[in-house]
Amino acid sequence: MALLAATPGLAPADTVPTGAGGPRVLVLGDSLSAGFGIALDQGWVGLLGQRMVAQGLPHQVINASISGDTTAGGRSRLPALLAEHNPAVVVIELGANDGLRGFPPKRIAAALSAMVREARAAGARVLLIGVRLPPNYGSAYAEQFQGLYDEVAAATGAALVPRLLDGVAEDRGLMQADGLHPTAAAQPRLLDNVWPVLLPLLRETLPAAADAG
């Protein structure tokens, strides 16, 4: 079964150069956030760092995304990442590889909910990012899978971007040959899908004396 770019081992978190000493944004994702098949700075997380600099936001981006990761993998890595980076915002973009493996939606939702609760207990604001499965997985399972992100967000109070690949997955010209990973040209659209929901969280974490931008 195809996965979103399985990787043989864990990679260290990458810091996207932005404001020195500013609030930290931890991105915990899979290959969609790790920039599979493209240069790291071309991925939407790299572009996020560039946009924050352009808008005068002092945040640092920690990209802890790993190609092939699942919600179980993210959940196991999260405590150490929270302790090391003390993020002000945690972005969770996981679940696609669980879905591609046909894992029960309730199991995926439970893992996502646990990560949201743990991040919030550590004092971080949380943004949950969802994806849709390819149509060959059947409408019943695909609908259950898509719905779990809404359910987790509603139950935990996390902010939600329902579809990271909205406007991209439908355009084969914006997808790599595997049909799963977006091209470099698609990455600005991914960031545009995330930005309106993420920006209010960033503003909430600014020091009181800072300009909200």
> In the block, which residue shows the tokens 């996207």?
16
Sign, CA dihedral 203-22-69-36, equals positive
What does DSSP say about strands 14-16 and 60-63: parallel, antiparallel, or unpaired?
antiparallel
Could you give the CA distance from residue 19 to residue 36 in angstroms, rounded to a whole number?
25
Which residues, listed in sequence order, are joined to residue 63 by a DSSP beta bridge?
Answer: 14, 27
Residues tagged active-site: 31, 178, 181
Of 42, 46, 39, give the one whose Cα is nearest residue 14: 46
